[in-house]
Chains A and B, each alone.
Chain A
């Protein structure tokens, strides 16, 4: 049955204002921190000031004597009930998986690790009482640098494991039969370019700090958490603590951002869960921003050794990446797998005949890393797009020309890469042509030449990023092959109410992505009901028992399809009822604009609301028809989706001070069909800003003792709108082919694309001075130093420019 052909575009594709806006913008909503329950106590957590130490003495009893304090406990007190924090992605058979107690028991392995808990009648008393806890540490040797951690005599983060190597994972196209051999490609190459890139450590800076409330007093233990993953949290709390799954209810109320930083099952959630069970009364824990920065998981932190091989004419023949990925001290929910989310993408949009990736995970005495917007794919895209520019420079070829020579052309889709992925659709030419025109590419190249010729203090750089990514996570079978513990499906339910209104239940869990608006638009088109007559329910395991939550640009690309399929079931179920009401044969009916009508007869038909009322009364249903119009669907994608696009960045670099100013930024993205252009635009703006932040501003830095030096926003320089340019955005639209919506996902695209565009532009501005890399973030001092070093090199060589 064709459900919506005639109505396509009525709501989908429309710039709807968000249903969520009023309550979110005015702050009149239920954040976890707003929740207050009778008898609730407030938790404060004592955290280790040492990066690696043995706890030799820990006495919480002095805290108990302070006013307002109700309880206090240490890791040893709850060792048998607190559970071990789970890692669900053991990426290799021989991966080293250390225990991860929520509260440290004998040893701490990074600064900020929780060691004891105080519960008090108010938050301030709990905070004060932490200072009364007596604790002594015996320092142990600290290891922070990944290469040092892999040395034979390195101090061990987990002494009992005998190594700091967590795993080594290899994808080799020759071994897998998906392509040529990189070693042979290198032996045969006319040009070989090698670079080492450093992906600095970043801190996810969501607006709402993480917060958790646990109420153990009902039949179920209820957990409210500012999380991206309420469903996953329920399962893992149950599996790790032994409390039966049906006795746990998890609610993610409105959640203020995540960027992957709330794709985690946290020590604090486990501690609050243990505390509530121990006390038999509700508890709340809300972290301070400093605690977020110290011990919420971090992102990136890789050393990337990249080799690209090519012929003199610019045809690439192979790419090889050798990665060191910093795990931190423990494995979070998908810590080991995070770099591997990019492991298939080091070839990007180009036809590399040979492909090899080797990733080694390394333990250090630092906060654990895990997913941060893009997760693995920003790192891959950065390395690839940077080295494509370096190859172009080596070949003395215009960098866009090099890309055109090597990318998959629109008539070659579907295209299977040497990494083994099949890209379903794309049109790199169209996005690039549009971006170059909007950018004024040729004019900027002319101006660049003039500034170089005149030796202008301000040099102009042009940076390119022609990216693609894999998202829409994920086909369950592929996840299984990658040793991920869960599937990648998503669920949706549609409930027709007697008055014709609609409740939609989604297993995705929005935390800023506007699902209530976009899902309403999709359902409005599918069912022919008004946008305003649809309510989207999410984030409570009691209403939405089935779901895998929101991350990896999956909600629309996977959950949206489940929703369409659930709507289809409703339409199918209503058909015999409508036929009965119209006294005709179901085969003669068509469903158009929300009405069942007799084909070829434009007269009055029956709406889904009519059918819903008929089902509600059930006075006159056809024989054998179940009195229900509810539709449930679970969708498991057969492939990832592959958004792509071309981002172009023009930077002005002050060669005296090293300051980089972004003059213009053009993003042309192809995210397939679009449900709501305003929401997509917002995702691109925020994503690009976050990518620029990695390129120019943000870096988490530890001192030699493992203290986080960038523990507040004074030192961790997050850019604001005042630091960012106006973005020029547009789209091309090449629908995804694997499902009826044609959507591809947009949550991570901007972040993945933008970082290399900016750094390429910085290097491009200075290449004629002898600069061929600037380490991220490209701070003014690093840029100035790069120019100075290049001048020094030139002087030594006797040919000062």
Chain B
């Protein structure tokens, strides 16, 4: 279908983008890769007065090292993320999850920051960022601010971003000595996750020192499985202890029932998939 008519702006820098958004008011919308927004426009579920396209802002592209962190430009495409050697070396969980995003065409257009700012709980990146304790670097009319992942995702399709703010980059800590895995369960290869699990595990020989687990699509925003993490801290790195910890996987979740899956089934999947994600991450 055809979207409602809108104005279009393609600023050259972050400040200009923020100014454009400020001037345009609340009906303006940021366009990143367009893989979620354009379908919503075409179905006329959204009708913004202006699109502010961030595609020309050089600062927002690419991945760089900054001490113990990686800084990923929000406009870096999924495909660029997937092929980036820094990501593969220091944040393999992001690469693992990105490889499951939709299909090649979507990965070439869709962006890392766009999928986070969209804050769809069924998206893969929000739970990965949550598991990694990422920090979101945001530009707005009053300057720049940083927001932790635990604060960034507010509700279904709602993030901490104000209408006149732009997500510039995402900072993730390098994980040295961790095993990671993203376990995604969907109906067909191109579909959203019914449930997904992002897991990172740090082992010391036969013991799990620390585990981080975040769930995709088990609530209106990504959920850290704290119960699992606590049960695993210091636990033996065995299949039995992982399985026991996974009894806590669905704690604190509020999965929906819809045409794709019932809440019961999602709860069951969360337990099974968390165990599988942890087994892979821990090499068990």
Using CB atoms and an 8 Å cutoff, list the residues of chain A in contact with chain B: 123-124, 127-128, 288, 290, 656-657, 659, 697, 701, 709-710, 712, 714-715, 717-720, 722-723, 779-781, 784-785
Nearest 4 A/B pairs, CB to CB: A722-B189, A288-B1, A781-B265, A127-B2
Q: How far is the CA of A773 from the CA of B2 in the complex (A)?
A: 44
A-B contact pairs, 24 of them (CB 8 A): A124-B2, A127-B2, A128-B4, A288-B1, A290-B43, A657-B185, A659-B185, A701-B259, A710-B259, A712-B43, A714-B191, A715-B259, A717-B187, A717-B191, A719-B188, A720-B103, A720-B190, A722-B190, A723-B188, A723-B189, A780-B185, A780-B265, A781-B262, A785-B265
| Interface check B272, CB cutoff 8 A | yes
Using A127-B1, A717-B188 as known contacts, list a sample of 6 further A-B pairs with CB atoms less than 8 Å apart, ordered by residue number in A: A656-B272, A697-B188, A714-B191, A779-B187, A780-B265, A784-B265
Beta-carbon nearest neighbor of A654 in chain B? B272
A124 CA to B1 CA, complexed, in Å: 9
Decide if B83 is an interface residue (CB 8 Å cutoff).
no
- Report the minimal beta-carbon distance from B1 to chain A, rounded to whole angstroms: 5
Q: Do B189 and A714 touch across chains, with their CB atoms under 8 A apart?
A: no
- Those of B250-284 within 8 Å (CB) of chain A: 259-262, 265, 268-269, 272-273
- Residue numbers in B under 8 Å from A659 (CB-CB): 185
Are A715 and B189 in contact (CB-based, < 8 A)? no
**Chain B residues in 8 Å Cβ range of A719:** 188
Question: In the complex, which residues of chain B have a beta carbon less than 8 angstroms from the beta carbon of A288?
Answer: 1
Is B176 on the interface with A (CB-CB < 8 A)?
no
Is A124 within 8 A of B5, CB to CB? Answer: yes
**Residues B1-29 near A (CB distance < 8 A):** 1-2, 4-5
Interface on B for A, CB 8 Å cutoff?
1-2, 4-5, 39, 43, 103, 185, 187-192, 194, 259-262, 265, 268-269, 272-273
Inter-subunit contact B260/A715 (CB<8 Å): yes
CB distance B187 to A123 under 8 Å?
no
How far apart are B279's CB and chain A's nearest CB, in angstroms? 12
- CA of A224 to CA of B191 in the docked complex: distance in angstroms? 35
Chain A positions within 8 Å of B191 at CB level = 714, 717
CB-defined contacts of A656 to chain B, threshold 8 Å: 272
Residue ID in chain B nearest A287 by CB atoms: B1
Q: What residues on A are CB-neighbors of B194 within 8 Å?
A: 780
State how many angstroms separate the Cβ of B148 from the closest Cβ of chain A.
31
Cα A784 to Cα B185 in complex, Å, equals 14
Q: Most chain-B CB neighbours within 10 Å: which of A659, A701, A715, A781?
A: A781
Number of cross-chain contacts by CB at 8 Å: 54
* Residue pair B188, A714 in contact (C-beta under 8 Å): no
In the complex, which residues of chain A have a beta carbon less than 8 angstroms from the beta carbon of B1?
127, 288, 290
Q: Are B189 and A697 in contact (CB under 8 A)?
A: no
Chain A residues near B103 (CB-CB < 8 A): 720, 722
Knowing A127-B2, A288-B1, A710-B259 touch, does A720 contact B188 (C-beta < 8 A)? yes
A781 nearest CB across to chain B (Å):
5
Which A residue's beta carbon lies closest to that of B269?
Answer: A657
Main secondary structure of the interface of B (DSSP, over half): loop
Q: Which residues of B contact A709 (CB under 8 A)?
A: 259
Distance between Cα atoms of A657 and B194 in the complex (Å): 12
Measured in the bound complex, the distance between the Cα atoms of B187 and A780 in whole Å is 8
**Residues of the B chain whose Cβ atoms lie less than 8 Å from the Cβ of A722:** 103, 188-190
Nearest opposing residue in chain A for B265, CB measure: A781
CB distance from B274 to the nearest CB of A (A): 12
B187 contacts which chain A residues (CB < 8 A)?
697, 717, 779-780
From A718, which residue of chain B is reached at the shortest CB distance?
B188
Q: In the assembly, what is the distance between CA of A714 and CA of B262, in Å?
A: 17
Give the chain B neighbours of A124 by CB distance below 8 A. 2, 5
State which of A657, A697, A723 has its C-beta within 8 Å of the C-beta of B272: A657
Tell me if A123 and B2 are in contact (CB < 8 A).
Answer: yes
A781 to B188: give the CA distance in the assembly, Å. 14
Question: CA separation between A718 and B191, bound complex, in Å?
Answer: 10
List A contacts of B43 (CB < 8 A): 290, 712
Complex CA distance for A785 and B265, rounded to whole angstroms:
9
- For B268, give the chain A residue with the smallest CB separation: A784
A720 near B189 with CB under 8 A, answer yes
Q: A781 contacts which chain B residues (CB < 8 A)?
A: 261-262, 265
Question: Which residues of chain A come closer than 8 Å to B5, judged between CB atoms?
Answer: 124, 128
Residue of B nearest to A782 (CB): B265
Nearest opposing residue in chain B for A784, CB measure: B265
A784 / chain B contacts, CB cutoff of 8 Å: 265, 268
Which residues of chain A have C-beta atoms less than 8 A from B259's C-beta? 701, 709-710, 715
CB of A18 to closest CB in B, whole Å: 25
Residues of A within 8 A of B272 (CB): 656-657
Smallest Cβ distance from A309 to chain B, in angstroms?
A: 38
Provide the bound-state CA to CA distance between A657 and B183, in Å.
13
Bound-complex Cα distance A717 to B261 (A): 13
Question: Closest CB of chain B to A709's CB: distance in Å?
Answer: 5
Chain A residues within 8 Å of B39, by CB? 712
Contact across chains for A714 and B192 when beta carbons are under 8 A apart: yes
Q: How far is the CA of A780 from the CA of B260 in the complex (A)?
A: 10
B2 contacts across to A, CB distance below 8 A: 123-124, 127-128
- Residues in A neighbouring B261, C-beta threshold 8 A: 781
Residues in B whose Cβ lies below 8 Å from that of A712 = 39, 43
Q: Which of B191, B261, B272 has the most CB of A within 10 A?
A: B191
- Distance in angstroms between the alpha carbons of A779 and B194 in the assembled complex: 12
Alpha-carbon distance between A404 and B11 when the two chains are bound, in angstroms? 72
Question: With a CB–CB cut-off of 8 A, which chain A residues contact B192?
Answer: 714
| Residues in B neighbouring A718, C-beta threshold 8 A | 188
| A290 contact set on B, CB distance < 8 A | 1, 43
State how many angstroms separate the Cβ of A714 from the closest Cβ of chain B: 7
Give the docked Cα–Cα distance between A717 and B273 (Å).
Answer: 22
In the bound complex, what is the Cα–Cα distance between A718 and B103 (angstroms)? 14
Nearest chain A CB to B5's CB is how many angstroms away? 7
In the assembled complex, the Cα of A405 lies from the Cα of B269 at a distance in Å of 43
Q: How far is A376 from B103 in the complex, measured between Cα atoms in Å?
A: 34
- On chain B, the residues within 8 Å of A701 by CB distance are 259
Q: Write the nearest CB–CB distance from A587 to chain B, whole angstroms.
A: 66
Bound-state CA distance A781–B5 (Å) is: 41
- Assembled-state Cα–Cα distance A128/B194 (Å): 35
A128 CA / B5 CA spacing, docked (Å)? 9
Tell me the minimal C-beta distance from B236 to chain A in angstroms: 22
- Give bound CA distance, A656 to B243, whole Å: 13
B-side contacts of A710, CB under 8 Å: 259
In whole Å, how far is B41's beta carbon from the nearest beta carbon of chain A?
A: 12
Residues of B within 8 A of A697 (CB): 187-188
Bound-complex Cα distance A712 to B1 (A): 12
